Amino acid sequence: MKKITISTGGTGGHVIPAQILYDYLEYKNQIVITSDKRGINYLNKKKYKIKQIDVPKLNINIISFIPFLIKFILSILRSYLFLYKNKIEILISTGGYMSVPVCIAARFLNLKVFLFEPNLIIGRSNLFLLNYCEKIFTYNKKIKNLPKKMCHKNFVIKPLIRKEIFLSKKKLKQNSKLFSILIVGGSQGARKFDNLFNEDLIKLSKKLKIKIYHQTSVKNLRELKNFYISNNIDFHVFSYTHNLHKIIKKCDFAITRSGASTINELVFLETPFLAIPYLYAKDDHQFFNAKYYVNKNLCWLVRENNISKNFLYKFVLNLIRNKKLIIQKKKNMHNFHKKYDWKLNSSQLNKLLSK
């Protein structure tokens, strides 16, 4: 049994994989998750053992740099003391600048460091830490930006899917006369997503029986609810939830940003989706995430700045009139995921970490 720390924080895209890794590894190891204040909001505090270690965000402003540097060094010191006092043997980082101080502290202590990269392009923090890690877990042998001299560190695994999602897949979607659409704004850029298709949704609601499930930020909840109520559209608006998979199963179609965790769950649960990458995602990683699935004919993809008036209205009408489009996507998704095995993924990771 190993003592393992999983370092994460920031957005749900970093935190969700940390939770899944915890579930994969906990029955053979002692696990604790370290996260910053933002990341802790995404964690189930009743289920996971958590330690908060806040990390300052880099500010290139000359006046702010010295205070940043002092705080950054303090976060390394706190990380060092935590790892040392708890006799941690292995550190797994799910990426992001929040994990850098913990990884540096682990390096000082000569701990084994493993990185995780769910996107199809390596993030800057993981790229910086590659020299110090044992392996980096990815979903693809041809991940972008991986230096050739580091290819031997790339350990390809199947996409991390939560155990409860494996179980929920067996439950069939209930038949409904409504065409249900899920809109997932994500933790970044949700505000723009909230208003992107207002006119199209109003037009669709007048022509079809639809229900909208809409995920947004906490700040936008009231405004979004008022929009649906004032236009007499059947809806369910919500912020971050650990049970997104239950909502996905109720929907015929989804419109989403293309964070790795969200689109992996949509594919696994065989819900056809239109991916609209967040324009300002670092290194355009959301575009590459979606493009990978488009190339396998598993989803549709459009750039946000290419969306014109009536785009969604015409897109959804076409799906309803040509049901084969959705059926084919579902078949492709089923074939893509049919060999996925939660126990096999868990076994692979545990064997690697126990060496």
> Which residue ranges make up each domain of the chain?
3-161+343-354, 166-337
* DSSP tag of 43: S
The band of 46, judged by pLDDT with boundaries at 50, 70 and 90, is confident
Q: How confident is the model at residue 189 (pLDDT cuts 50, 70, 90)?
A: low
Q: Which pair of tokens denotes residue 68? A: 């940043």
User: What's the pLDDT score for residue 176?
Assistant: 67
**Interval 302-320 mean pLDDT:** 93
Residue 221 pairs with which residues in a beta bridge? none
Residue 353, pLDDT above cutoff 90: no
Residue 249 has pLDDT above 70, yes or no: yes
pLDDT digits (tens, 9 = 90+) for 154-163: 999 888 888 8
pLDDT interval class at 172 (50, 70, 90):
low
For residue 207, count other CB atoms closer than 10 A to its CB: 11
Considering only residues 94 and 279, tell me which one the structure prediction assigns the higher pLDDT.
Answer: 94
Instruction: Report whether 74 contacts 48 (CB < 8 A).
Output: no
The rounded distance, in Å, linking the Cα atoms of 43 and 192 is 25
What span, in angstroms and rounded, lies between the C-alpha atoms of 355 and 352?
6
- pLDDT for res 190: 63
What pLDDT does residue 248 have?
93
The pLDDT of residue 1: 83
The mean pLDDT value of the chain amounts to 90
Percent of the chain that is helix, strand, coil (3-state, to 5): 50, 15, 35
Superfamily the domain 3-161+343-354 falls into: Glycogen Phosphorylase B; (3.40.50.2000)
Instruction: Identify the pLDDT of residue 187.
Output: 62
What mean pLDDT comes out for the span 123-135? 93
- Res 121 pLDDT > 90: yes
pLDDT score, position 106: 97
Q: pLDDT higher for 215 or 348?
A: 215
Using a pLDDT cut of 70, give the percent of the chain over it.
95
3-161+343-354 and 166-337 share one fold: yes
Say what the pLDDT of residue 171 is.
59
Q: What pLDDT shows up at residue 83? A: 97
Distances (CA, A) of 84 to 6, 72, 105, 220: 15, 18, 9, 42
CATH number for the region 166-337 comes to 3.40.50.2000
What is residue 158's predicted lDDT score, i.e. its pLDDT?
A: 87
Residue 244 has pLDDT above 70, yes or no: yes
